[in-house]
């Protein structure tokens, strides 16, 4: 069973069956997001695709915000909401969408799984949250895993797959910045407020670019369905599940979703798009996730 993966006899990272299944469900949804981007991005292009994604998410989240949490909005935090919208949605979503033009859904998700590694680097440099020896070892291990993926698909020219890999890595760094920014300036803010306001501000920021990059060609019905699912299920609904898990089991246990997202993304890509799962992908996945486990403290001195 899925929940057995998170059981530890010493009491570390133990999850109730319901929460473990919710975590797996969330991973399946976020794994599907890479598939939806891969299918829809050729018709829409990265900018228009992301504009629709966050716009749809904002439309779904706004009623929940206004009906239940409008009094929890701190308008003095509007600049913080704006920065969060850019670094946690607009910028990384566009970079990842661009990456899926050249990389498979599974491959892009593997690069995205290094987010905790970059979060730790940003925390050490910016927040002076220094790493212990196990975390440093995890960082090195994770970067080796990224290098394996780059070596397998990259080239000497800064174009095509290589540029897509750079874009995906920059997206993970952006996520790392947003995570630490939230911790520093928005601690105590209600999760639904953060999710909703970040999507609303991101949608507003992208509007000028969308005007110039809106596709002129015919957009298939399949692409419209995929972008709708991307915004409603993989963004709005996924945020509600994610923040609900953080509230119930805490961020340390919730971050284990990182380990499952690439598995689902590669599986969806192979089953639906017939994308190949290569040996370098498997090796890189194992190395990156092992490094992530060390950095996040899921494995380390206490668990050995």
3-state secondary structure 109-134: HHHHCCHHHHHHHHHHHHCCCCCCHH
Nearest-angstrom CA–CA distance, 284 and 281: 5
CB-based burial of residue 61 (10 Å sphere; 0-12 exposed, 13-18 middle, 19+ buried)? buried
Long-range contacts of 254-257 (CB under 8 A, 24+ apart): 254/23, 255/116, 255/296, 255/298, 256/6, 256/13, 256/23, 256/298, 257/23, 257/26, 257/27, 257/30
Walk along the chain (304 residues) and give the pLDDT tens digit of each residue.
233 334 344 444 455 777 788 888 998 999 999 999 999 999 999 999 999 999 999 999 999 899 988 889 999 999 999 999 999 999 999 999 999 999 989 889 888 888 888 888 888 888 777 778 888 888 888 888 888 877 776 555 666 788 898 899 999 999 889 888 888 888 888 888 988 999 999 999 999 999 999 998 899 999 999 999 999 999 999 988 887 787 777 666 677 677 788 889 988 999 998 988 888 888 888 888 888 788 777 666 554 4
Radius of gyration, alpha carbons of the chain: 19
Q: Are 122 and 176 in contact (CB under 8 A)?
A: yes
pLDDT for 3 equals 33
Q: Report the domain count for the chain.
A: 1
What torsion do the CA atoms of 261, 55, 170, 286 make, to the nearest 10 degrees?
Answer: 0
pLDDT for 285 equals 85
Nearest-angstrom CA–CA distance, 298 and 290: 10
| Cα 207 from chain centroid (whole Å) | 22
Nearest-angstrom CA–CA distance, 133 and 113: 21
Helix, strand, coil percentages in the chain from 3-state DSSP, rounded to 5:
80, 0, 20
pLDDT for 250 equals 66
Sign of the dihedral through C-alpha 106, 262, 26, 68? negative
Q: Could you list the residue range(s) of the whole structural domain that residue 12 is in?
A: 2-303
pLDDT for 113 equals 84
pLDDT for 300 equals 61
pLDDT for 251 equals 63
pLDDT for 157 equals 61
């Amino acid at each position: 069973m899925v929940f057995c993966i998170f059981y530890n006899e010493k009491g570390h990272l133990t999850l109730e069956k319901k929460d473990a299944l919710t975590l797996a469900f969330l991973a399946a949804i976020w794994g599907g997001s890479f598939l939806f981007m891969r299918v829809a991005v050729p018709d829409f292009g990265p900018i228009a695709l992301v504009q629709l994604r966050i716009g749809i998410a904002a439309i779904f989240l706004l009623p929940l915000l206004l009906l239940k949490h409008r009094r929890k909005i701190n308008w003095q935090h509007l600049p913080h909401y704006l920065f969060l919208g850019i670094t946690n949605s607009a910028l990384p979503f566009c970079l990842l969408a661009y990456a899926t033009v050249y990389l498979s859904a599974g491959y892009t998700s593997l690069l995205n799984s290094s987010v905790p590694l970059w979060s730790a680097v940003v925390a050490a440099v910016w927040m002076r949250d220094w790493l212990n020896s196990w975390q440093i070892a995890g960082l090195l291990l994770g970067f080796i895993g990224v290098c394996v993926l780059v070596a397998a698909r990259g080239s000497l020219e800064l174009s095509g797959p290589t540029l897509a890999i750079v874009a995906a890595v920059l997206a993970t760094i952006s996520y790392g910045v947003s995570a630490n920014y939230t911790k520093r300036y928005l601690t105590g803010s209600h999760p639904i407020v953060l999710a909703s306001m970040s999507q609303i501000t991101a949608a507003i920021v992208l509007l000028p670019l969308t005007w110039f990059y809106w596709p002129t060609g015919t957009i298939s019905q399949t692409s419209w369905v995929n972008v709708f699912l991307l915004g409603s299920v993989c963004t709005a609904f996924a945020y509600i599940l994610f923040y609900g898990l953080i509230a119930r089991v805490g961020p340390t246990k919730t971050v284990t979703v990182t380990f499952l997202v690439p598995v689902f993304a590669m599986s969806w890509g192979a089953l639906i798009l017939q994308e190949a799962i290569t040996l370098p992908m498997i090796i890189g996945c194992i190395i990156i996730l092992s490094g992530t486990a060390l950095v996040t403290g899921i494995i380390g001195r206490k668990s050995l």
